Amino acid sequence: MTSSRLPALMAIALVLPVVAGCVSRRAPTVAHVHIGHAITGVHVTPNKVGYLVSAEGRAQETLDYSKKAAAAHDLAEMKHDIALATRATNADDAFGVKESMIMAVNHITFAATSDDATLNVQKAAPVFAADSARVIERCDLIGLLNKDIQASNSEKEAALLVQEIAKLAQANLSGDDSNGDGVVGSVPSEYGLLQLRKELEAMVAREKPPYVTVDQWYLFNLVKLPNGKWVFDKFGRGGNIEGYK
């Protein structure tokens, strides 16, 4: 058997049980599974929630810890709480806000570049990626401010920096009004996760045929073959052959 035939045979083997009725419902499009990874669920996150859901939860943690730091009574306590806030934002081993947001963007991009993607998704994906940039920037700023706080010997100085982190954390959740027009999130440079979720929901609402919440089996068993083809793993092992998230 020639090696050139292996990817095609692997694809057939992986998808056969779906065709044979191992999963009773009709398989969703690959594009819709990637959208599901962003907004519904994926096998690698804590509690197997979607990447955007993970980002929202960690953003709330960041805000809670920063508020706790703002109410702290000494510098050591302040530093401890801000370190936890920063971890919730930037931990790359525990799906912090930044990592979760990047993965959400990646999967919407995967959706748009899938063979079965609608024109709607193809057009919306790069806009979503661009509009997510401000959240990533705020995450980086929180990391930099945390370094200044950890190095500070002044409770007064640290307290001012904590307030800045709290503002950034709030903005990552619900947006800000940086242009002063009196409307929070009126332009993409002000977007937080609230506005980004609405953007994705609007994209989903425009889908024809309609987007339907993807069954967990499909969410957890979409894999990418070495030749770049996306298929469903007949063994239901969860995850990706190449270890992609």
Most confident of 12-21, 24-33, 191-200, 208-217: 191-200
Residue 81 pLDDT = 97
If you average pLDDT over residues 24-36, what whole number do you get? 85
Full set of structural domains in the chain with CATH: 29-214 (1.20.120)
The C-alpha atoms of residue 59 and residue 89 are separated, in whole angstroms, by 7
Residue 11 pLDDT = 38
**pLDDT band at residue 93 using 50, 70 and 90 as cut-offs:** confident
How confident is the model over 108-121, as pLDDT tens digits? 999 999 999 999 99
pLDDT at 19 over 60: no
Residue 223 pLDDT = 83
**pLDDT band at residue 182 using 50, 70 and 90 as cut-offs:** very high
Q: Mean pLDDT, the chain, as a whole number? A: 86
Residue 7 pLDDT = 42
Which secondary structure element, helix H or strand E, spans residue 223, and what is its range?
strand 222-224
Closest CA to 172 of 184, 183, 154, 155: 184
Place of tokens 């996760």: 193
pTM score:
0.84
Quick check: 58 and 95 in contact, CB under 8 A? yes
The residue type of 123 is K
Residue 5 pLDDT = 42
